[in-house]
Each structure stands twice: as structure tokens, then as C-alpha cells.
Structure 1
Amino acid sequence: MKIFAVLVLSVLGLSVTGFAQQSKIDSLLKSLPAVGDPLRRIDQLNDIATYYTRTSVQEAEKTVRESILRAREAHYKKGLADALKIAGVIYYIRSEYTVAIEYYYQSLKLYEELKDFAGEAKILHNLALIFNLNKEYEQAYKFARRSIELKRKLGDSLGVANSLLSVTDYYTHTGKYSQALEAGQTALERYKGLHDEIGISHALLQIGEVYARQKDFPTATAFYKQGLQQAQRIEDYLQIAASYKKFGELFLAGEQYDSACHYLRATIAVAHRHDIRREEVEAMRFLATCFEKTGSLDSALYYTRALAAIEQEIFGRQSKEQIATIQVIYEFEKKEQELGFQKRIVRRQYIAIAGVSLILILAIMLGYKFYGLNKSNADAKETLLKLNREINQMNENLESMVHERTEEIAAKNQRLLEYAFFTAHEVRGPLARILGLVELAKIQELRHEHEEIILRLQEAANELDEVIRIINRKLESTKRI
């Protein structure tokens, strides 16, 4: 009975608060026809589509398709990037993750071209969410960290809080619960400081899941209740469905099957009404398990078949959307290629004209050069002949000079030989006699012969002096040569 009362109050809460969200959409729709600027109109369509993602996914899809078409026609990259991002959100809500990723990557490419770091950070955050759901946790963590880095550089406190929840999800699924709680609490405090009610709801549910994984069911229940109340206040149907599912999953883990079935059915009702396929599919899977546990095999089989039908429908729609997306991309790229081809043709024509002009200029310059060369050819030839004659004359003079110098060197060599012969024979004779007489003078017994020895020394000295004079004359005559 208590559970039934909670469900009734929840539905009443939705019906009351739904008007505020719808009034924002109505106001934007009413002012849309008056928007004359095509780019501003695209931006407003994107705003409308964003609000519709919380109330009616079908209307959001219609609006965003119009925005994508108009943005491509206007070559408005920023508007196209925003629209593709919203399309990714729509398919994320429908659990068509492959298509969502395709739209996200297209949007990311445009944001990178525009150097729009804020848009790039949001896409990285959204990709982290999908990879967490696909259990590719390491990849999800990388995207989340990159998103946080960009948002911190931009001073985007709200964006950092959003990405911290992706990090919380990563830590939760990898069993790092203390780190998960720290990241989740940090995100919650940021949301509260910014008075962001949507973020507060998300953070409360995320923290509740960390406690549920640790089997601390009372604490998890408290956080889930706060998250549900917050989601109802802001008409966030995605979070309302997620809250109901969390309660159903929690009661299923605690083997309180009646309560689990009630919350899971409530999840299916809200999710089906608002085309939130991800929560609907998961709720059906848990509900089939719940009935199986209680022995209601017919009900379990019913939900299993319903689940298979929805998954088949999602797969079929996803395939169609993939084909449509590929076709749109192909047409867009084809136009870009045609434009590029035309640009290349024009560029080639410019290059050809420039090439021909350059060739003509070179031909004129070469012609002028050849004319000048031809004119000076005769002068150059005469100059060369004159130089040749001068070189021949120089060669003849050089040969004569070489011959004379050779004879002079030969004469000098002959005189040097004569000088060497003369000094070797003529000088040695007198010198030897002088040396001998000196030795005789040293002998005491020959005192009576000293006068004769001195006389002979004088003769030998005179003879040596004459020889030296002859040598000097020869040297003088050699110098004159």
C-alpha cells in the first residue's frame, strides 16, 4: 500500500510539474516564426529540441532533423555541431548507442574544426557515458578525463561536475567504491553550489548506486528517494524512469520481489510513454528475472518475449538510422567533393596561366640574352686570338730564358767544381808543411835549426797566402757571372 501511494504521488507530481517544462517549449515555438535570421532560427530550433529530449523524444527528433537540414544548407557549422550533438542524445535515450556514437563523432569533428572547446568537452562527456554503458570502462575513463581537463581550462564548473559523474560511474563498475564516493560527493557539492537541480538529481542517483553495489541498501534507498524527488520537481522523465528502475533493482537484490515488480512496472510505464528505451529495456529484463524468482513463469516469459521484440525493433531502427546517416553523410561529402573538384579545376587554370606567363617572360629574356651574346661574339673571338698570340710569344720568351738560365747554372756548377778541386789540393800542401814545421820547432834538440825552420814557415805561409788570394779572385769572378 505504501508503495502504491508513492507511485500515485509520483504520477501526480509529474502531471503538476509537466506544465512548467512545456511552457518553455511553447514560448520558444511561439516566437520561432518571428526569427528572421537563418542562423538564429537554427539555434532556437536546437534549444527547442533540447527541451523536448526531456519530455518527448519523438518531437525532439523532428525538430533536430529540421535543424540539421537548415544548418547544412546555410553552411552553419556551429549550429550543425549542436544539432548533431542533440541527435546523439536522442539516440542515447533510445539505447541506440551505435547511431548515437556516429552523431557524436560527427559533432566532435565539427567542434574540433571550430576550436569550440566547450562543445568538444560536452561530446567527450557524452561518449564517456555510452562507453560506460557498453562496459568499455577504460575507454570511458579516458574520455571523461579529457573532458574534465578541457572544462577546467575553460573554467566550466558545471561541466566538470558532469564529467565527475562519468568518473564516478567508472570507479563504481571497477569496484573502486571509496574513489567513486569521493568523485560523486565532489560532483554533488558542485551542483548544489551552482543550484543545478538536474545535476543534483543525477549525482544523488549515482551515489545511491555506489552504496547499492556495497549492499548498503538503507543508505542507497535514502539517496534514491532524494534523487527521485529532485527529478520530479524538474520534470526530468529520464531521471524519473532511472530512479524507479534503481528502486526496482535494489528491491530485487534484497529479494523483496513485490516491491521490485511495482517499481519496475512504473519504470516501464514512464519509459514507454516518453520513448526512453534504455530504461524500458533494462526494466523488462529485471522484471522477467523478478517473475522468474517468484515462480510466475508465464509473466517471466511474457516480458522476455516483449524484451526480445523491443530489442529487435531497436536493432532494426538502428540499422535504418545507420543507413540514413550514411546516406546523409555521403550526400554532404559528395557536395563537398564536387565543390573541392571545382576549386581544384580553377586552381589548375590559374597555375597553367601563371606557367605560360612565366615561360613567355623567360623566352623574352633568353632572346635578349642571345642577341647580346651574338653581338659580342666577334669581339670575344678577336680577343681570344690576341690572347693566344700573346701566350705563344710568352712561351717563346720563356723557352729562351730557360735555356740561358740553364747555361748559367751549368757554368756556375763547373766553377764550383774547380773551386772544390783547388781547395782540396792547393790549400792542403802549404798548410801541411806549416803544421810539420811547427811540430819540429817544439823539439828541444833542434834549437840550432830554429832559424831555418822559421824561414821555411815564412815561405810556407807566403805560399798559403798566395793560394788564398787565388781563391778570392776565383770567388770574385764567380760573383760577376
Structure 2
Amino acid sequence: MIKLFICSCFLICVVLVSTAQDNPIPKLKLQIKRHQNDTAGIELLRNLSLQIQSTHPDSALMFAQQGLDLAKKFSFKKGEADCMNRIGVLLWKNGKYDRALLFLLGSLKIREGIKDRLGILKSLSDIGIVYSDQKDNLKALSYHFKAKSVAEELNEKRRLGIILSNIGNCYIKLNKVDSALSYEMQAYAIQQSIKDFSTLPNTLSILGDINFKMGHNALALDYYRVSVNLATKNGDQSGLSDSYNGMAKLYKHLNLLDSCIFYAVKALNAADISMYPEGIYDASNLLTNIYKGSNEHLELMYLKKASAAKDTMFNSDKVKLVQKLSFDEAVRQEEIAAEKHLEEETRIINLQLIGIAIFIPFFFLSLLILNKSRTHRKVIEFMGVLSLLLVFEFIALFIHPLVMQISNHLPLLELGILVILASILVPLHHRMTIWMHEKLVHPSSPHQPKSKSTKQIKPWPT
């Protein structure tokens, strides 16, 4: 017995020591004290917020806000966007979808401005999750597929696994089981290949939902149980709540009410710890239905919890704000698309102008070469006039946008500027035509006597 006691104490000490070594939170807090007045502290605060979000959501929000304040103090845009995204995720987990969307869209705007492709990927993915929880799965899919394209471009396998899992979750909510299963299995394969056990519990839980919907109850339970084991190891309380809720619904479907109540209560406890209103609502609503007509006290208690959780997520003011934010973001994206289209058109026009500017000297050079050959004088005369037309029309084409800008599209002012330009260009064109005619078409030769009577050459009409 003494030996057993000593061994037990030794094992407990080993576990405590290893846990202390694996726990990064004390080390992060120590580093934050050293960097509380420089930009390095921003990422440390964000990381600390991430580490404690499942167990201490209020503190996680506080640290993320401190990081945001520090980023604004130093005008550090990337740190500001990262902390805004972190706050958005925490607010989403707490069911405050309106405020979550406000921070996530703000983060996306900053990241687009500084061209942070990885940051854009994260924002798009998180915005998609918020819309999915708001029951707008079609809009959620549009954001997830944008995020998927960026993840593939950056070869971000871990993020791609998360996005594929979220796409599968949207499809199961839309009752498209085959599509949901396809994307979820792709996510599962990626997460297994890179041993991403932090996001795997969510994928396994969704696979449980899919198989439950397909009528594969035993397989669904297996997925839920493996998800619970991994989520427990990760300390992921919201993930535990989802899996326990899935198991409770399955047992209710099988009419095994004792098991249903057991797992629904576990789901509710996990959701309460992580302040996860969606988990609270699902578990409380399920328990309300079970106790309906059999236990009025428990029915009323769980009904109140379900109503409070639903109000947290979907009251009318929050829904209106989400709709306004969605509309404003749609307008902003349309403006960005219009700007890109204008930039592309401007780029094409500039390339064409550069091409013309390069072509004209080469054309004139070829004319000089032809002049020394036995080419017919009429051909040379035509090409000479054509080269002059190209030069002067190019000048007019090049100057026209500047004229439009100066005149501000006022017809009278624009006409006046064009008349002034014409008074300069037309005489110049007249003189250049005569010069081209004399030098190229009728070049002077030392063997030919000069004519006594000089015949005036009519210039090419402008």
C-alpha cells in the first residue's frame, strides 16, 4: 500500500510538471509584461486571447481589446486587423453576431488595404461562419468559397481543411447531404494527413450529423464519440457542446430519453462554461421538449434558458444591424470590383498608347530605309503622309484626357482648348508635310541640276 501510494504521488507530480511545461499561458503573460509598450506585445496579447478563449471567454475578450488598443496607439495596421478579427471570433462564439460581423468586416477592410492575403483568408472564413450561424448559408458559402480560393493559392493546408469542413456544414444545413459528405471527407483527409487534431473534432462532429441524417446511427455515434475524446483533450468546450448535442438528438430519435437527457445536460454544461449560446439554445430547447407535459418546473427552467440564448443571438435589433452591415459590405465590394475594372481598362489603354508610341518611330525608320531603295516615289509619299498623320493623331489622342480633366467636361471650355491646340498643331502639320515631301519624295541629288523655276508644292490636306 505504501509503495502504491508513493507511485501514485510520483505519477501525479509527473503529470503536474508536464502540464506546467505544456501550458504556454504563464510564459505568455510574462512576455506581455516585458512588451506592454511595443508592437511585439500586440501579437502576444492576441495569442493569449486565443489560448484562453474556451475556458475564460471574458478574459480572452479583454486581452484582445488590449491588443487592439496597443495596435491603434502605434498605428500598426496588421496588428489592428488581427486583434479586430480575434474580437470578432470571440463575439461570434458568444452569440453576438451583429458586433462580431462589425469587427470581422472592419478587419477584412484593413487587410485588403495592406494586401495581407493570409489575413484576408482568415477574415473571409470567419465571416462565412457568422453568416452560417445566422442561418444565411448561401451567403456563408460565397465567403467560404472565396476563402477556399485564397487558401489554395497560398497552399494553406490547415486553413483549407477548416474551410472545407465549414462548407460541408453549410451544405448539411441546406439539406444537401451528398455535397456535405464530399467536402467533409476532403477536410477529414487533410486534417488527418497534417495531424491537425485541434480542428478535427469539429469535422468529426459534422460527419456525425451527416451520418445521422443519412440514417447511419451507429456510425454517427462513433464519429461523435471520437470527436468528444479529441475535444476533451483540447479543452474545447464549445466543440464538446456540439458533439454532445448531436448525441442527445440521436438518442431522442431512437426514443432513448434517459441517454438523451444525460448528453443534453452535458452539452448544456459545456456550453455554459464557454458561454456558447448556440450550444445553450440547442441543449435547452431539446430538454424543454423532453420535459414538456411531464415536469413543469424543469420545462419552464429550460425554456427560459433557451429563450435567453435565442434572444442573445437573434433579437430584432441585432438582425437589423447584421442586414445593414451586409448591405454596406455588398456596396463596398461592388465599389472595389468597379475600381478593379477601371484599373484594368486604364492599364489596357496605357499599354495600347505605349505600343503606338513604340510603333511610330519604327514606322518612320522603315520609311527612311525605303527611301534609299528603289521603291516607287508614290508609295514613299503615301507612307510619309501616313507617318505624319500617326504622329499628330497620337499627340491629339494623348492630350485629350488632359483636356477633359482641365475643362471638367464643360463643352465651351473644352472647345476653346481644342481650338488653341489646333492653331498650334495644324500649321506645324502643314510645315512637316512640306518638309517630308521635299526630303523624301523629291530628295536633292548632286547629279541633277536645280530647276530654275520652283513649282510650289501643295501640302497634303490636314
TM-score (norm 1): 0.60
Task: Decide whether the 8 Å contact of 2:68 with 2:84 is kept in 1.
Answer: yes
Contact between 1:91 and 1:97, CA under 8 Å: does it hold in 2?
Answer: yes
User: Structure 1's 310 and 201: CA in aligned 2 closer, same or farther, altered over 3 A?
Assistant: closer
SS in 2 for 1:195: coil
1:395-474 equivalence runs, <5 A: none
Determine the structure 2 residue equivalent to 1:38.
38
- Report 1:47-86 matches (<5 A): 47-86=47-86
Deviation at 1:312, TM superposition (A): 4.5
Match of residue 169 from structure 1: 169
Cα gap change, 1:82 to 1:21, in 2 (>3 Å): farther
- Taking a change above 3 Å as real, the CA distance of residues 263 and 16 of structure 1, as seen in their structure-2 partners, is farther
State the shift of 1:29 in Å.
0.5
Whether the aligned pair in 2 keeps the contact of 1:17 and 1:232 (CA below 8 Å) is no
Q: Partner of 2:448 in structure 1?
A: none
Partner SS state of residue 38, structure 1: coil
Residues 231, 212 of structure 1: alpha-carbon distance in 2 compared, 3 angstrom cutoff: same
Which residue does 2:210 correspond to in 1? 210
Is structure 2 residue 310 aligned with structure 1 residue 307?
Answer: no
- State the partner residue of 2:232: 232
Task: Report sequence identity in percent.
Answer: 18
Equivalent residues of 2:132, 2:170 under 8 A apart: yes
Q: Residues of 2 paired with 1:306 and 1:48: CA distance?
A: 30
Classify 1:310/1:18 alpha carbon distance in 2 versus 1 (closer, same or farther; 3 Å): farther
The alpha-carbon deviation at position 276 of structure 1 amounts to 2.1
Asked if 1:104 is matched to 2:104, the reply is yes
Give the C-alpha shift of residue 170 in structure 1.
2.0
Check 1:253–1:127 CA distance in 2 against 1; reply closer, same or farther (3 A cut). Answer: farther
Residues 270-285 of structure 1 aligned to structure 2 (within 5 Å): 270-285=270-285
Q: CA deviation at 1:313?
A: 5.8
| Alignment match, 2:388 | none
TM-score by length of 2: 0.62
Letter in 1 for 2:124: L
Partner of 1:298: 297
Task: Name the SS for the 2:95 alignment partner.
Answer: coil
Would you say 1:93 and 2:93 are equivalent positions? Answer: yes
Partner of 1:258: 258
Amino acid at match of 1:227: S
Distance 1:115 1:22, change over 3 A: same
Amino acid at match of 1:57: P
- Asked whether the equivalents of residues 42 and 70 of structure 2 are also in contact (C-alpha less than 8 Å), the reply is yes
What are the superposed Cα offsets for residues 133-158 of structure 1, whole Å, 9 maximum, x if unpaired? Answer: 22212111111110000010011011
The verdict on how the C-alpha distance between 1:60 and 1:180 changes in structure 2, with shifts beyond 3 A counting, is same
Partner of 1:382: none
Letter in 1 for 2:201: S
* Contact 1:56 1:275 (C-alpha < 8 Å) held by counterparts: no
Cα offsets for 1:367-400 (capped at 9, x unmatched): xxxxxxxxxxxxxxxxxxxxxxxxxxxxxxxxxx
Mean CA deviation greater in 89-98 or 15-24 = 15-24
Contact 1:82/1:107 (<8 A) preserved: yes
Deviations for 1:386-422, whole angstroms, at most 9, x for unmatched residues?
Answer: xxxxxxxxxxxxxxxxxxxxxxxxxxxxxxxxxxxxx
- Distance apart, 1:229 and its partner CA: 0.6
Moved runs in structure 1, 4+ residues, more than 4 A?
Answer: 15-22, 310-316
C-alpha contact (below 8 Å) 2:55/2:274 kept by paired residues: yes
Residues 79-98 of structure 1: CA deviation (Å, up to 9, x unaligned): 11111111111111111111
User: Which structure dedicates a bigger proportion of its chain to helix?
Assistant: 1
Per-residue deviation, 1:307? 2.5
Retained in 2: the 8 A contact 1:17–1:235? no
C-alpha distance 261-17 of structure 1, shift in aligned 2 (>3 A): farther
SS in structure 1 of the partner of residue 175 of structure 2: coil
Which SS does the other structure have where 1:197 is aligned?
coil
What is the deviation of 1:251? Answer: 1.5
Equivalent position amino acid for 2:152 in 1 = R
Separation in structure 2 between the aligned mates of residue 171 and residue 124 of structure 1, nearest angstrom: 18
Contact kept, 8 Å, 1:17 with 1:234, in 2: the verdict is no
Q: Is the 8 A contact 2:224 2:247 kept in 1?
A: yes
Query: How large is the Cα RMSD of the aligned pairs?
Result: 2.7
- What does 1:360-375 correspond to in 2, within 5 Å? none
Q: Which residue of 2 aligns with 1:196?
A: 196
- Gaps (5+ residues) in structure 1? 1-14, 327-481
| Cα shift at 1:189 | 1.0
Change (3 A) 1:175 1:84: same
Question: Could you tell me how far apart the structure 2 residues matched to 1:18 and 1:311 are?
Answer: 41
- Residues 1:17 and 1:203: Cα distance change in structure 2 (over 3 Å): farther
* Cα deviations by residue, 1:172-193 (Å, 9 ceiling, x for unpaired): 1222222211211110110111
Structure 2 distance, partners of 1:224, 1:142, is 28
Over 3 Å counting, the alpha-carbon distance change for 1:222 and 1:16 in structure 2 is farther
Structure 2 match to 1:178:
178
Residues 59, 183 of structure 1: CA spacing in aligned structure 2 closer, same or farther, 3 A cutoff?
Answer: same
2 CA distance for matches of 1:166 and 1:309?
26
**C-alpha distance in structure 1 between counterparts of 2:237 and 2:82, whole Å:** 22
> 5+ unaligned residues in a row in structure 2: which ranges?
1-14, 326-462
Confirm or deny: 8 A CA contact 1:17 1:233 kept in the other structure.
Answer: no
Aligned partners of 2:237 and 2:273 also within 8 Å: no
**Counterparts in 2 of 1:72 and 1:202: CA distance versus 1, 3 Å:** same
User: What's 2:142 paired with?
Assistant: 142
Structure 2 distance, partners of 1:290, 1:142, is: 37
The one-letter amino acid paired with 2:225 is: K
2:34 maps to a residue whose letter is: A
Q: Specify whether residues 308 and 178 from structure 1 end up closer, same or farther in structure 2 by C-alpha distance, changes over 3 A only.
A: closer
